């Protein structure tokens, strides 16, 4: 656990050091849970978005995109249920004046018990060596069993309180577990209250009568309220989808784990409108399609799992998360929900206009059902960064820090380097840059030793480095170095483009999804 935390800290500082992610307002000591993307981060982020966007809109002739505004009519959030129910339970410590999410305090307590079990197992594994039977130990060791039973009892009580929305019981659990405030160390807790996560602001001058509006907490509602606009102007026939990428805002009480939980973040959402009764079949299809999209990046199939929801939101009739193994455990990256006709019906009720689809094949009108796929860009970014980072021990004893980014997502695809800064090598290298740059993000680098330059490119995940030397001037060949294997080969300049393209091409990656 400590090792994983350590690894995570290294990833966060690497992200800053190499221009991927900076704390927002850094020179003012940052703004909690808000981050800026640097020169490499923005390229990686754009590539993730492009991969998603093209997998939706290019690969499906029945999916189109939109870009709706962040500000929306406030009644939309009443209709969607966000005004009344988009809440987290919070609790304050009277001594430190710090505010916490009550559910997170209890989840941390559960994690502590899990930690204790893992520690017992690790200790025993060391003690027994090769003869250690982990499964048997977990099933029979009295101390492990005691912890397990404590965990199960607490988990059950907690799940019940959450499901009943029982704030008093949440507080009682905190008291009974003797959970203390990490700052003051005391148990002087207030009552638990509901806290709405939406940011509110004023639109228009007060003289005109300002209207309270919200910063959208999800992009999905922009799709629902444009359902008829898109369906009619695009002459879309069900089944069809609308995709959108955009910013969302949530006043998260507990903001931690870097870009995993942010107050300003980006979502990639797609609402797929289907005939009532066919939604579960489509849910199954989208579940598979989205998992395939993740796995095609080659970050390791074993790092993904589904988490099917047992308890469903009142508007859903099926829901699952795609979880990824982060340095802090398996966590949700994407949600896939069968949302019935809840949202469209609610908007119909609140706006007073008919929102229906006339199905020419059935000869009848209905409110379409919806399958939603919703993924956070920043969380996806974190999965890519975390799974790519390696401090690799080399044969000569040195350690290189390398990002094994999927080549299609790498911010820089190829770096071109003259071996020395003279004899016409920089000019030749520039010539190569000038041909490659129209197809690939290309960097020119002539500073420091060639070894240092390779390391710099490894650290930002550049899949290819090209070195121009004196032989290049004679026979038009260069050294091509591969990031992961560090192998070098002599290739003709005229072959470079096709070699690089084979690995970094987004369209080739998209073809693997078919």
In the complex with ligand GAP, which residue's Cβ is closer, 35 or 454? Answer: 35
Half-sphere exposure of 366 (CA within 13 A, CB side): 20
Told to check if 378 binds ligand GAP by CB under 6 A, we report yes
Give least dist CB 62 to ligand GAP, A.
20
Told to check if 379 binds ligand GAP by CB under 6 A, we report yes
Part of the chain binding ligand GAP (CB under 6 A), chosen from 124-132, 161-169, 259-267, 454-462: 259-267
In the complex with ligand GAP, which residue's Cβ is closer, 96 or 345? Answer: 345
**Whose CA is closest to 390, among 10, 5, 20?**
10
Give least dist CB 170 to ligand GAP, A.
20
Total residues binding ligand GAP (CB under 6 A): 19
Near ligand GAP in 84-143, by CB under 6 A = none
Sign of the Cα torsion 218, 224, 229, 233 reads: positive
Sign of the Cα torsion 21, 22, 25, 31 reads: positive
CA 42 to CA 36: how far, in whole Å?
9
Told to check if 252 binds ligand GAP by CB under 6 A, we report yes
Part of the chain binding ligand GAP (CB under 6 A), chosen from 169-177, 227-235, 367-375, 383-391: 367-375
Told to check if 496 binds ligand GAP by CB under 6 A, we report no
Asked if residue 105 lies in contact with residue 179, where contact means CB atoms within 8 angstroms, the answer is yes
Told to check if 80 binds ligand GAP by CB under 6 A, we report no
Which two tokens mark 482?
């591969």
Told to check if 23 binds ligand GAP by CB under 6 A, we report no
Residue of 14, 45, 216, 250 that binds ligand GAP (CB under 6 A): 250
Give least dist CB 338 to ligand GAP, A.
12
Told to check if 335 binds ligand GAP by CB under 6 A, we report yes
**Whose CA is closest to 259, among 203, 206, 327?**
327
In the complex with ligand GAP, which residue's Cβ is closer, 47 or 479? Answer: 47
Q: What's the count of helices (H) and strands (E) in the chain, helices before strands?
A: 18, 23
Site string for ligand GAP, 436-475 (x = CB under 6 A): ----------------------------------------
Crossing angle between the packed helical segments 167-176 and 102-128, to the nearest 10 degrees: 40
Told to check if 334 binds ligand GAP by CB under 6 A, we report yes
Give least dist CB 489 to ligand GAP, A.
40
Told to check if 480 binds ligand GAP by CB under 6 A, we report no
Give least dist CB 259 to ligand GAP, A.
7
- What is the DSSP-derived secondary structure letter of residue 89? E
Give least dist CB 382 to ligand GAP, A.
9
Contacts with 394 (C-beta within 8 Å, 6 or more apart), sequence order = 400
Part of the chain binding ligand GAP (CB under 6 A), chosen from 113-121, 154-162, 328-336, 431-439: 328-336
Q: How far apart, in Å, are the Cα atoms of 470 and each of 206, 427, 432, 492?
A: 71, 12, 15, 14
Residue of 40, 267, 338, 479 that binds ligand GAP (CB under 6 A): 267
Residue of 45, 216, 261, 287 that binds ligand GAP (CB under 6 A): 261
Residue of 346, 374, 462, 467 that binds ligand GAP (CB under 6 A): 374
Residue of 21, 44, 117, 262 that binds ligand GAP (CB under 6 A): 262
CB 231: neighbour CB atoms within 10 A?
Answer: 20
Give least dist CB 61 to ligand GAP, A.
24
Give least dist CB 441 to ligand GAP, A.
26
Residues belonging to the chain: 514
DSSP string, 377-409: HHHHHHHHHHHHEEEEEPTTS-EEEEE---GGG
Residue labelled with tokens 């070894």:
451
Residue 251: is it exposed, middle or buried by C-beta count within 10 angstroms (0-12/13-18/19+)? middle
Asked if residue 268 lies in contact with residue 91, where contact means CB atoms within 8 angstroms, the answer is no
Part of the chain binding ligand GAP (CB under 6 A), chosen from 73-81, 372-380, 417-425, 464-472: 372-380
In the complex with ligand GAP, which residue's Cβ is closer, 261 or 294? Answer: 261
CA 229 to CA 235: how far, in whole Å?
10
Told to check if 246 binds ligand GAP by CB under 6 A, we report no
Asked if residue 334 lies in contact with residue 375, where contact means CB atoms within 8 angstroms, the answer is yes
**Whose CA is closest to 162, among 87, 81, 255, 261?**
87
**Whose CA is closest to 439, among 403, 464, 457, 459?**
464
Near ligand GAP in 181-220, by CB under 6 A = 218, 220
**Footprint of ligand GAP on this chain (CB under 6 A)?**
218, 220, 250, 252, 261-262, 265, 267, 269, 332-335, 372, 374-376, 378-379
């Amino acid at each position: 656990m400590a090792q994983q935390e350590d690894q995570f800290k290294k990833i966060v500082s690497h992200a800053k050091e190499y221009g991927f992610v900076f704390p927002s307002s850094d020179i003012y000591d940052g703004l909690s849970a808000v981050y800026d993307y640097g020169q490499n981060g923005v390229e990686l982020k754009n590539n993730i978005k492009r991969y998603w966007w093209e997998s939706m809109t290019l690969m499906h002739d029945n999916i189109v995109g939109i870009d709706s505004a962040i500000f929306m009519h406030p009644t939309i959030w009443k209709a969607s249920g966000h005004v009344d129910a988009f809440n987290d339970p919070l609790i304050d410590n009277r001594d430190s004046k710090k505010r916490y999410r009550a559910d997170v305090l209890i989840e941390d307590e559960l994690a502590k018990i899990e930690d204790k079990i893992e520690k017992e197992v690790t200790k025993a594994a060391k003690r027994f060596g090769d003869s250690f039977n982990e499964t048997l130990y977990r099933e029979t060791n009295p101390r492990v069993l005691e912890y397990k039973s404590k965990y199960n009892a607490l988990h059950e009580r907690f799940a019940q309180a959450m499901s009943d929305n029982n704030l008093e019981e949440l507080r009682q659990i905190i008291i009974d577990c003797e959970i203390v405030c990490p700052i003051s160390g005391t148990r002087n807790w207030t009552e638990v209250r509901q806290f709405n996560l939406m940011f509110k602001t004023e639109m228009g001058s007060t003289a005109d009568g300002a209207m309270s509006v919200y910063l959208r907490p999800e992009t999905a509602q922009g799709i629902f309220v444009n359902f008829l606009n898109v369906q009619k102007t695009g002459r879309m026939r069900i089944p069809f989808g609308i995709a959108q990428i955009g910013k969302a805002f949530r006043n998260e009480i507990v903001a931690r784990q870097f870009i995993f939980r942010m107050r300003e973040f980006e979502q990639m959402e797609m609402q797929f409108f289907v005939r009532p009764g066919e939604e579960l079949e489509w849910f199954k299809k989208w579940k598979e399609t989205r998992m395939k999209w993740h796995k095609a990046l080659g970050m390791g199939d074993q790092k993904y799992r589904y988490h099917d929801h047992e308890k469903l939101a009142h508007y859903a009739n099926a829901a699952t998360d795609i979880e990824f193994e982060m340095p802090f455990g398996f966590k949700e990256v994407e949600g896939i929900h069968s949302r019935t006709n809840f949202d469209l019906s609610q908007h119909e009720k609140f706006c007073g206009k008919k929102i229906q689809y006339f199905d020419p094949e059935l000869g009848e009108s209905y409110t379409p059902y919806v399958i939603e796929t919703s993924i956070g860009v920043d969380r996806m970014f974190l999965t890519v960064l975390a799974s790519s980072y390696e401090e690799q021990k080399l044969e000569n004893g040195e350690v290189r820090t390398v990002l094994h980014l999927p080549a299609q997502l790498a911010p820089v695809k190829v770096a071109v380097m003259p071996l020395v800064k003279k004899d016409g090598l920089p000019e030749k290298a520039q010539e190569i840059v000038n041909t490659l740059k129209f197809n690939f993000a290309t960097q020119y680098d002539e500073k420091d030793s060639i070894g240092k330059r390779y390391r710099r490119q490894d650290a930002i995940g550049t899949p290819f480095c090209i070195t121009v030397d004196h032989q290049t001037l004679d026979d038009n060949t260069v050294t091509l170095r591969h990031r992961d294997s560090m192998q070098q080969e002599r290739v003709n300049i005229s072959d470079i483009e096709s070699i690089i393209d084979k690995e970094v091409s987004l369209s080739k990656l998209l073809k693997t999804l078919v």
